[in-house]
Amino acid sequence: MKVRKLREFYSTRRVASQTTVSQPNSQLNVHQNAQPIAQTNAQPTKQPNAQHTDQPDSQHNDQTNEQHNNKHNEQPNNGLPNEQSNDKINIPSEMPRSIRQLSKPLVKAPGDVECGNPNCRTKYASAWRTNPEIPEGGWLCNACGIFIRTKGVHRPPEVVGRVYKNNILALPFIDEPVPRKETLRKRKNPEPESDDRTPSTLNVVTRRRKSQRNGHGTSSDPDAVDDEDIVRSESSQDDVLNVPTNEEEPLPWERKEFLKCGLYSMDLKVGRRSSRSKEKESENSITEIFPLPVQYGKFLMEEKRNFHLTWDIITAHKHIYVDRKRKNEEPVICDCKPPRNGGLGCTEDCYNRVMFYECSPKDCPCEEQCTNQRFQRKECVKELEVFKTENRGYGLRTLVETPKDQLILEYRGEVISHSTALKRMETKYKYRKSIYFLDYENRAVVDGGTRGTEARFINHSCAPNCHIEKWRAPNGELFIGVFASYNIPAMTELTYDYNFSTFGGAEGQECLCGASNCRGILGGKKQFRK
Ligand SMILES: C[S@@+](CC[C@H](N)C(=O)[O-])C[C@H]1O[C@@H](n2cnc3c(N)ncnc32)[C@H](O)[C@@H]1O
ipTM: 0.99
Give yes or no for residue 160 having a pLDDT over 70: yes
CA quadruple 161, 165, 168, 170: dihedral, nearest 10:
-160
514 lines ligand 1 (CB under 6 A): no
pLDDT the model gives residue 305 = 74
The answer on pLDDT for 51 being more than 60 is no
Asked whether the beta carbons of 359 and 366 are under 8 A apart, the reply is yes
pLDDT band of residue 457 (cuts 50, 70, 90) is very high
**Cβ of 481 less than 6 Å from ligand 1:** no
Q: Tell me the best of 311, 460, 512 to mutate to test the pocket of ligand 1, counting ligand atoms within 8 Å of each CB and taking the most.
A: 460
Distance (Å, rounded) from C-alpha 481 to C-alpha 406? 10
491-501 per-residue burial string, b: 16 or more CB within 10 A, e: under 16: ebbbbbbbebe
Is the pLDDT reported for residue 179 higher than 70? no
**pLDDT, position 528:** 43
Q: List the single range of 16-25, 83-92, 119-128 with lowest mean pLDDT.
A: 16-25
Q: Decide: 451 and 413 in contact? Cβ < 8 Å.
A: yes
Asked which of 164-168, 350-354, 378-382 is least confident by mean pLDDT, the reply is 164-168
Q: What is the pLDDT of residue 303?
A: 74
User: What number is the average pLDDT over the span 77-93?
Assistant: 38
Distance of CA 490 to the CA centre of its chain: 43
CA 458 to ligand 1: nearest atom: 3
Tell me the CA–centroid distance for residue 454 and ligand 1, in Å. Answer: 13
**CB of 519 sitting under 6 A from ligand 1:** no
Residue 188 confidence (pLDDT): 43
Between residues 528 and 507, the one the model is more confident about? 507
Atom of ligand 1 nearest to the CA of 505: 27
What does the pLDDT look like over 201-243, one tens digit per residue? Answer: 333 333 444 444 443 333 333 333 444 445 544 333 333 333 3
Residue 103 has pLDDT above 60, yes or no: no
pLDDT class for 503, splitting at 50, 70, 90? very low
Question: Whose CA is closest to atom 27 on ligand 1?
Answer: 434
Q: Give the ranges where 270-374 is alpha helix by DSSP (H).
A: 275-284, 297-302, 351-354
Atom of ligand 1 nearest to the CA of 461: 19
Helix (H) or strand (E) holding 97: helix 97-100
Question: Any idea which of 105-109, 274-278, 303-307, 431-435 has the lowest mean pLDDT?
Answer: 274-278
- R_g (Cα) of the chain, nearest Å: 42
Residue 120's pLDDT band (boundaries 50, 70, 90)? confident
Which of 56-60, 160-164, 207-211, 456-460 ranks highest by mean pLDDT? 456-460
What spacing in Å lies between the alpha carbon of 377 and ligand 1's midpoint?
A: 29
Higher-confidence residue: 256 or 41?
A: 256
Instruction: Specify the amino acid at residue 147.
Output: F
- Residue 101, SS3? helix
Mean pLDDT for the chain? 67
Residues, the chain, total? 530
Residue 253's nearest CA partner among 128, 151, 340, 100 is 151
Sequential DSSP letters for 397-444: EESS-B-TT-EEEE---EEE-HHHHHHHHHTTTTT-S---EEE-STT-
pLDDT value, residue 225? 43
Q: Mind listing the pLDDT tens digit for each residue in 323-356?
A: 999 999 999 999 999 998 889 999 999 999 999 9
- Cα–Cα distance measured from residue 429 to residue 427, given in angstroms and rounded to the nearest whole number: 6
Which residues on adjacent β-strands are paired with residue 480?
Answer: 470
Which residues are registered as beta bridge partners of 394? 388
DSSP summary character for residue 287:
-
Residues 6+ apart with CB under 8 A from 285: none
What's the CA-to-centroid distance between 459 and ligand 1, angstroms?
Answer: 5
Q: Which of 155-164, 183-192, 242-251 is predicted most confidently?
A: 155-164
Judge contact between 28 and 173, C-beta under 8 A: no
Nearest to 119 by CA among 95, 85, 154: 154
- Domains of the chain, CATH where assigned: 2-254 (no CATH), 259-305 (no CATH), 313-530 (2.170.270.10)
Cβ proximity of 444 and 483 under 8 Å = no
Return the best residue to mutate from 434, 495, 500, 519 for the ligand 1 pocket (most ligand atoms within 8 A of CB).
434
